[in-house]
């Protein structure tokens, strides 16, 4: 294009302004409001305390991890500029101060990463987050990550090196190193570290812009009801498309469907919405009006057992309970066979899965023999009792309002009743159930819920004896069953440190064998998630693991 000489300087200025504008604050692209239905409200907004699917689903729109797994299950950088590896020299083997083999791993924070109040995301935030995570009463879920990092070297404002006291096969995956804004959270933590879990600004001032650096930030919260997110002016990445996202909590899953059909919500979150059976029935009735995606993945529905309960402390009882269940028939009838019965917490989709772990087919005679061997030999009104009058009775809890979980409860109750086991059902809203009952091990016997995990995720926080929540550690850890097994502890540690894939898979086999033999939890099935989306929505890509769709929310948009 020819430009008159007198206009050339003006055009040059306009082009420069346009180029500079491309590096300015990201603005939404005017796609209006997207309203999402979810079944649970977060028990906390702090990214590392009592993490839950409900919390991460919302939080991932407003924050990003250093590393994560993508939809192809590959480890990638998000907040870092390059994934460190031994091959590229950003990870280096070294000797620890104790003379053991360790590793130094160097990361660089994206230079354009900025908290929502304009403060740069820096290595000061890294150092502060590490200090909080290492505190014995921080209440962080993954306290082991911060224990293993024995030193942090600050290279400059954006580059830092983590020194690990051991070499693990996930040496460069710091997905759970969830960065905190030091300029806001340090005064709160320093004032009273023990009270920090309750006084964190993520809970007391949730809408403060400086708590977030993702494409959106939380601008309004109505506890138990909804969360509003709006574009973050300091976001460094691709501009988000929607002007506003509302995450509405509808704990009753039947009401969730009604709200979708009435237009009160636009979509139902796959990670935290309705179950597969409801989605299948919905697809039969309304499949032409919505996009309905079924994503199998690393979602483990199970029953955590409180092993402090004297009856459940007896392995014979735990095994008898599982033999008494006809899980195959249950999943076939309830879920059209789309959700496989679980042997252990490891999904068949994970390459670490061991097909030879002990299985528990429905075997009423074997269940009866185990119960009788444990002393429950007398039947009184259809319920087994010991000679001293102790009944074989338990309370089974789950999240109230989840229609399918409540149906599963009733099936389990009936099957156990046929075996002489008395089951009392007691449910709570998810924010109460996860906010204290489970996380503080206050359930009397059984708690039914799901774990989400990532590929080959070593179950340290849920099975290692160092991760049992107690008042002394301010309820850190996720070993809610109270499982203590020396062999399991050794295997978990060895698996983490084994770099050879074949040898590591053999360790995984032993982990699953012990799990299936000891049964700290009762495996039910591996879930598939159902995403019910409007036909006009593009860019939602299910991952099949715990790092879900909202980590890429800036790609969501209205179809042209």
Q: What confidence category does residue 308 fall into, taking pLDDT thresholds of 50, 70 and 90? A: very high
> In whole numbers, what is the pLDDT of the chain averaged over residues?
92
Q: How far apart are CA 261 and CA 89, in angstroms?
A: 54
Q: What confidence category does residue 6 fall into, taking pLDDT thresholds of 50, 70 and 90? A: very low
Count the alpha carbons within 13 Å of 324 in the hemisphere toward its beta carbon.
25
Count Cβ neighbours within 10 Å for each residue of 542-552 and write b for 16 or more, e otherwise: bbbbbbbbbbb
Q: What confidence category does residue 31 fall into, taking pLDDT thresholds of 50, 70 and 90? A: confident
Do the strands 393-397 and 446-452 form a parallel or antiparallel pair, or are they unpaired? parallel
Q: What digits encode the pLDDT tens for the residues 94-106?
A: 999 999 999 999 9
pLDDT of residue 18 exceeding 60, the answer is no
User: Residue 427 CA to chain centroid, in angstroms?
Assistant: 21
Q: What digits encode the pLDDT tens for the residues 222-245?
A: 999 999 999 999 999 999 999 999
Q: What digits encode the pLDDT tens for the residues 454-510?
A: 999 999 999 999 999 999 998 988 999 999 999 999 999 999 999 999 999 999 999
Domain chopping of the chain, boundaries: 64-202, 296-528
Q: What is the reported pLDDT for 431?
A: 85
Q: What is the reported pLDDT for 27?
A: 58
Q: What is the reported pLDDT for 137?
A: 85
Claim: this prediction has a pTM higher than 0.85:
no
Q: What is the reported pLDDT for 51?
A: 81
In CATH, what number does 64-202 get?
Answer: 3.90.76.10
pLDDT of residue 22 exceeding 60, the answer is no
Q: How far apart are CA 222 and CA 3, in angstroms?
A: 56
Q: Thinking of the domain 296-528, which architecture would CATH place it in?
A: Roll (3.10)
Q: What is the reported pLDDT for 28?
A: 66
Q: What percent of the chain has pLDDT over 90?
A: 85
Higher pLDDT, 109 or 333: 109
pLDDT of residue 277 exceeding 90, the answer is no
Whole-number Cα distances in Å, 298 to 331, 455, 518, 542: 17, 8, 22, 12
Beta strands in 29-142 (DSSP E): 33-38, 67-69, 75-77, 91-95, 101-108
Q: What digits encode the pLDDT tens for the residues 379-430?
A: 999 999 999 999 999 999 999 988 889 999 999 999 999 999 999 999 999 8
């Amino acid at each position: 294009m020819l430009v008159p000489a007198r206009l050339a300087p003006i055009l040059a200025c306009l082009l420069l302004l346009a180029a500079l504008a491309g590096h300015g604050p990201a603005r939404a692209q005017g796609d209006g409001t997207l309203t999402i239905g979810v079944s649970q409200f977060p028990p906390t907004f702090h990214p590392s305390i009592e993490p839950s699917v409900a919390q991460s689903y919302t939080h991932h729109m407003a924050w990003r991890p250093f590393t994560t797994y993508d939809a192809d299950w590959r480890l990638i950088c998000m907040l870092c500029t390059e994934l460190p590896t031994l091959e590229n020299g950003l990870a280096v083997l070294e000797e620890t101060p104790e003379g053991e083999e360790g590793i130094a791993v160097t990361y660089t924070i994206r230079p354009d990463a900025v908290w929502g109040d304009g403060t740069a995301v820096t290595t000061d935030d890294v150092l502060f987050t590490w200090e909080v995570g290492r505190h014995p009463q921080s209440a962080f879920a993954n306290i082991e990550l911060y224990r293993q990092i024995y030193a942090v070297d600050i290279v400059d404002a954006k580059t830092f090196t983590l020194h690990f006291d051991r070499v693990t096969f996930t040496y460069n995956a710091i997905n759970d190193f969830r960065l905190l804004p030091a300029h806001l959270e340090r005064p709160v933590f320093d004032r009273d570290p023990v009270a920090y879990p309750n006084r964190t600004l993520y809970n007391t001032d949730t809408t403060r812009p400086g708590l977030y650096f993702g494409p959106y930030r939380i601008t309004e919260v109505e506890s138990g009801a909804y969360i509003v997110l709006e574009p973050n002016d300091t976001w460094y990445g691709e501009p988000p498309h929607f002007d506003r996202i509302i995450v509405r909590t509808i704990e009753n899953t039947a009401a969730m469907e009604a709200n979708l059909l009435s237009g009160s919500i636009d979509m139902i979150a796959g990670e935290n919405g309705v179950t597969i059976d409801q989605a299948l029935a919905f697809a039969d009735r309304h499949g032409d009006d919505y996009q309905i995606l079924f994503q199998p993945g690393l979602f483990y529905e199970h029953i955590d057992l409180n092993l402090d309960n004297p009856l459940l402390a007896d392995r014979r009882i735990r095994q008898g309970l599982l033999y008494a269940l006809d899980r195959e028939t249950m999943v076939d009838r309830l879920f059209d066979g789309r959700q496989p019965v679980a042997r252990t917490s490891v999904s068949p989709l994970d390459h670490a899965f061991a097909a030879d772990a002990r299985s528990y087919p429905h075997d009423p005679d074997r269940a009866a023999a185990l119960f009788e061997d444990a002393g429950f030999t007398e039947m009184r009104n259809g319920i087994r009792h010991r000679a001293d009058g102790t009944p074989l009775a338990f309370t089974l809890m789950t999240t109230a309002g989840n229609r399918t979980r409540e149906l599963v409860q009733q099936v389990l109750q009936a099957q156990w009743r046929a075996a002489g086991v008395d089951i009392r059902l007691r449910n709570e809203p998810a924010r109460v159930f996860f906010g204290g009952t489970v996380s503080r091990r206050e359930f009397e016997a059984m708690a039914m819920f799901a774990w989400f995990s990532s590929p080959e995720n070593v179950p340290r926080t849920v099975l290692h004896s160092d991760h049992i929540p107690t008042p002394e550690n301010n309820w850190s850890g996720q070993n809610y069953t109270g499982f203590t097994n020396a062999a399991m502890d050794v295997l978990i540690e060895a698996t983490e440190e084994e770099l050879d894939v074949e040898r590591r898979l053999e360790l995984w086999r032993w982990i699953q064998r012990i799990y299936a033999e000891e049964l700290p939890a009762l495996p039910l099935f591996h879930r598939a998630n159902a995403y019910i989306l409007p036909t006009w929505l593009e860019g939602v890509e299910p991952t099949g693991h715990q790092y879900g769709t909202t980590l890429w929310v800036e790609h969501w948009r209205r179809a042209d």
